[in-house]
């Protein structure tokens, strides 16, 4: 039984379905699964790339002793927060176990610290940061509980006594503790929602991060989930298909693709990334309402870049997982090197990778691979002054912020926004629904965020197609939205007592 209602005659040549799911990443696949679980099988999944997985994306790199390439993950790499016996479990961890995806505990205590003179032990700064962090998270709790004004993580850190200033070693430690996870510097991150995000994953599930090394790719588990309701070569999964337009009305949604094909549906579930939405990579007709656009442009899309290199030898300590480098001049300049040539990872692979985010990501995206390679080698030569560092035999990095199917890596909450504004990012616009990592208030930036949001949107749309309401807690049907977002200061408080002597509203007198 379908409630298909797209009656517009212009669309009569389009392929018809009840629900069109835009994107075959984690959110898209779990949305489809939620529909299938409620016996809604009349759906189509439209995906830009040649396989499902989205930002869980791998590629071949370098070669093993038999001349075959290794598989490395360009995007998501860790299961972040696993679970405890009897406690809640991260669904990604459940599936990774179910589909036997190879992974290894990432030991964040296995770290050596470096600066431009070589190995220098400044690991005590890690303890200093963590001491301040314990205070900062208390402050975030007070702000949330009492509906107080949010502040930047930078302000929170300073109030907790962490002031790295121009100490580049402290800056490197801070990058390791903050930017590496959120892909934004503390100045640009909300204290409250940065801390809640961390707590919900690492305190609720567990503080472990397991690194996936499966040579079939991390997305193996998602393919496993897909195979429970999609047949091999299922005609409902349209791969290599690029959506260009989404037109919607009170009767239905019509999606047009770059190959000229079109689909008309009763409902659409759009799981495109915040970067895709922000960059107008698809055209909504009519334009999205201003409350929606405000939310889309308030939240931030970060960029996180892993730079892979393979050498003909492992010249670093193969038993250490992380090498933290403090540049003498530039914060975030090739700060964290990770060894894959380590027991339980890709032993003897001689593969090392270094991660940069945000400004450094954009900088290296706009220069050649060879320029980046020479910068990285110069850093390695500072870190290991007594070793002859060979040229890499393979070198590669993705340019996430330029990829038209994602335009960035994952989202982050800016300073001073609200849960209401975020709810507007989640809320449907008529028959167009939204889901993905970015719509998760609890787990934004993580695979589990995409998973929970995909499931909820699937259940809601199933509810609208007349199925029983599965999510009593969240409610079924349309999402709540906030047409008006209130500030924190009432207009009458803009007065002389508060240092506001004159009105900022000028009548400049145009006739």
Residue of 34, 35, 38, 54 that binds ligand FAD (CB under 6 A): 54
Binding positions for ligand FAD, 338-397, rule CB under 6 A: none
Q: Which residues contact 104 (CB under 8 A, 6 or more apart)?
A: 210, 211, 213, 344, 345
Cβ neighbourhood burial of 506 (10 Å; 0-12, 13-18, 19+): exposed
406 binds ligand FAD (CB under 6 A): yes
162 binds ligand FAD (CB under 6 A): no
Q: What are the distances in angstroms from CA 152 to CA 145, 271, 412?
A: 17, 29, 12
Q: What's the min distance (Å) between Cβ of 397 and ligand FAD? A: 10
User: Are 94 and 64 a contacting pair, CB within 8 Å?
Assistant: no
d(CA 304, CA 357): 4
243 binds ligand FAD (CB under 6 A): yes
d(CA 120, CA 490): 52
Q: Which residues contact 463 (CB under 8 A, 6 or more apart)?
A: 469, 470, 476, 477
Residue of 220, 271, 342, 455 that binds ligand FAD (CB under 6 A): 271
Q: What's the min distance (Å) between Cβ of 116 and ligand FAD? A: 27
Cβ neighbourhood burial of 254 (10 Å; 0-12, 13-18, 19+): buried
267 binds ligand FAD (CB under 6 A): no
Structure tokens at 64: 């093993």
Structure tokens at 75: 């995007």
Q: Is 66 left (phi over 0), alpha (psi -120 to 50) or beta?
A: alpha
**Nearer residue to ligand FAD within complex by CB, 52 or 143:** 52
Residue of 71, 242, 377, 394 that binds ligand FAD (CB under 6 A): 242
Q: Is 299 left (phi over 0), alpha (psi -120 to 50) or beta?
A: beta
The pairing of strands 103-105 and 209-212 is antiparallel
**Nearer residue to ligand FAD within complex by CB, 252 or 408:** 408
Q: What's the min distance (Å) between Cβ of 509 and ligand FAD? A: 47
409 binds ligand FAD (CB under 6 A): yes
**Secondary structure (DSSP) of 320-370:** --EEEE--SS-TTSS-EEEESSSTTSSTT--EEEEEEEHHHHHHHHTS-HH
**Nearer residue to ligand FAD within complex by CB, 36 or 144:** 36
- The piece of 173-181, 329-337, 365-373, 443-451 that touches ligand FAD (CB under 6 A) is 443-451
Residue with tokens 């995909």: 454
56 binds ligand FAD (CB under 6 A): yes
Euclidean distance between the first and final Cα of the chain, in Å?
61
Residue 32 three-state SS: helix
CA-closest candidate to residue 195, choices 160, 155, 153:
153
**Between helices 447-464 and 91-98, what is the axis angle to 10°?**
100
221 binds ligand FAD (CB under 6 A): no
Residue of 19, 21, 27, 172 that binds ligand FAD (CB under 6 A): 27
Q: What's the min distance (Å) between Cβ of 183 and ligand FAD? A: 8
- The piece of 168-176, 403-411, 471-479, 494-502 that touches ligand FAD (CB under 6 A) is 403-411
26 binds ligand FAD (CB under 6 A): yes
Q: What's the min distance (Å) between Cβ of 98 and ligand FAD? A: 17
d(CA 223, CA 24): 10
**Nearer residue to ligand FAD within complex by CB, 307 or 383:** 307
- The piece of 323-331, 400-408, 457-465, 499-507 that touches ligand FAD (CB under 6 A) is 400-408
- The piece of 69-77, 260-268, 318-326, 481-489 that touches ligand FAD (CB under 6 A) is 69-77
Q: What's the min distance (Å) between Cβ of 134 and ligand FAD? A: 24
CA-closest candidate to residue 125, choices 68, 181, 85, 163:
163
403 binds ligand FAD (CB under 6 A): no
**Nearer residue to ligand FAD within complex by CB, 19 or 46:** 46
Residue of 18, 20, 35, 48 that binds ligand FAD (CB under 6 A): 48
CA-closest candidate to residue 189, choices 509, 473, 417, 27:
417
Q: What's the min distance (Å) between Cβ of 186 and ligand FAD? A: 20
* Site pattern 72..111 for ligand FAD (x: CB under 6 A): ---xxxx-x-------------------------------
Binding positions for ligand FAD, 446-505, rule CB under 6 A: 446-447, 449-450
Q: What's the min distance (Å) between Cβ of 146 and ligand FAD? A: 31
**Secondary structure (DSSP) of 83-143:** B-TTS-B-HHHHHHHHTT--EEE--TT-EEEEETTEE---THHHHHHHHHHHHHHHHHHHH
Binding positions for ligand FAD, 311-330, rule CB under 6 A: none
296 binds ligand FAD (CB under 6 A): no
Q: Which residues contact 166 (CB under 8 A, 6 or more apart)?
A: none
- The piece of 96-104, 143-151, 422-430, 440-448 that touches ligand FAD (CB under 6 A) is 440-448
- Binding-site residue numbers are 243
**Between helices 91-98 and 220-227, what is the axis angle to 10°?**
80
- The piece of 11-19, 47-55, 148-156, 222-230 that touches ligand FAD (CB under 6 A) is 47-55
The residue count for binding ligand FAD (CB under 6 A) is 39
**Secondary structure (DSSP) of 435-497:** -SGGG-TTTTTSHHHHHHHHHHHHHHHHHHTT-----TTT-SSSPP--S----SS-GGG-SGG
- Binding-site residue numbers for FAD are 243
**Nearer residue to ligand FAD within complex by CB, 117 or 283:** 283
Binding residues vs ligand FAD (CB under 6 A): 23-28, 46-49, 54-56, 75-78, 80, 242-243, 271-273, 276, 281-282, 304, 400, 405-406, 409-410, 436-437, 445-447, 449-450
């Amino acid at each position: 039984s379908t409630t298909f209602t797209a009656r517009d005659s212009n669309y009569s040549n389009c392929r018809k379905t009840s629900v069109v799911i835009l994107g075959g990443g984690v959110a898209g696949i779990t949305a489809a699964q939620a529909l299938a679980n409620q016996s809604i099988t009349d759906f189509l999944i439209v995906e830009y790339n040649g396989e499902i997985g989205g930002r869980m994306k791998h590629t071949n790199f370098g070669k093993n002793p038999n001349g075959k390439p290794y598989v490395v993950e360009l995007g998501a790499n860790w299961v972040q927060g696993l679970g405890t016996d009897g406690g809640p479990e991260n669904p990604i961890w459940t599936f990774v176990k179910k589909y036997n995806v190879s992974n290894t505990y990432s030991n964040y205590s296995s770290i050596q610290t470096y600066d431009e003179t070589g190995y220098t032990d400044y690991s005590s700064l890690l303890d200093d940061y963590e001491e301040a962090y314990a205070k900062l998270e208390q402050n975030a709790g007070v702000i949330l509980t009492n509906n107080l004004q949010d502040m930047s993580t930078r302000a929170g850190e300073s109030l907790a006594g962490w002031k790295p200033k121009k100490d580049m070693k402290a800056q490197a430690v801070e990058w390791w503790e903050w930017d590496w996870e959120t892909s934004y510097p503390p100045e640009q991150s909300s204290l409250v929602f940065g801390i809640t995000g961390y707590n919900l994953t690492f305190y609720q599930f567990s503080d472990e991060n397991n690194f996936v090394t499966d040579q079939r790719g991390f997305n193996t588990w998602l393919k496993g989930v897909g195979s429970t309701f999609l047949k091999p070569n299922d005609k409902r999964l349209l791969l290599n298909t690029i959506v260009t337009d989404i037109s919607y009305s009170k009767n239905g949604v019509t999606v047009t693709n770059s190959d000229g094909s079109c689909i008309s549906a009763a409902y659409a579930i759009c799981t495109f990334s915040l970067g895709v939405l922000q960059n107008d990579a698809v055209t909504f007709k009519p334009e999205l309402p201003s409350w929606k656009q405000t939310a889309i442009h308030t939240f931030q899309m970060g960029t996180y870049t892993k730079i892979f290199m393979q050498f003909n030898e492992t010249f670093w300590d193969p038993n250490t997982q992380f090498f933290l480098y403090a540049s003498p001049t530039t914060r975030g300049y090739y700060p964290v090197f990770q060894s894959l040539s380590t027991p339980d990872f890709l032993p003897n692979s001689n593969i090392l990778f270094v991660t940069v985010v945000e400004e450094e990501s954009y900088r290296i995206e706009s220069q050649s691979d060879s320029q980046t390679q020479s910068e990285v080698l110069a850093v390695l030569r500072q870190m290991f002054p007594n070793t002859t560092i060979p040229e890499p035999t393979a070198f590669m990095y993705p340019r996430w912020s330029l990829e038209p199917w994602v335009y960035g890596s994952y989202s982050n909450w800016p300073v001073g926004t609200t849960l209401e504004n975020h709810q507007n990012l989640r809320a449907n616009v008529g028959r167009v629904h939204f889901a993905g990592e970015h719509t998760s208030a609890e787990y934004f930036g993580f695979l589990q965020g995409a998973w929970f949001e995909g499931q909820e949107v699937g259940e809601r749309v199933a509810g609208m197609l007349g199925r029983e309401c599965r999510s009593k807690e969240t409610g079924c049907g349309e999402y709540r939205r906030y047409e008006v977002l209130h500030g924190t200061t009432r207009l009458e408080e803009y007065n002389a007592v508060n240092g506001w002597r004159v009105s900022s509203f000028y009548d400049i007198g145009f006739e």
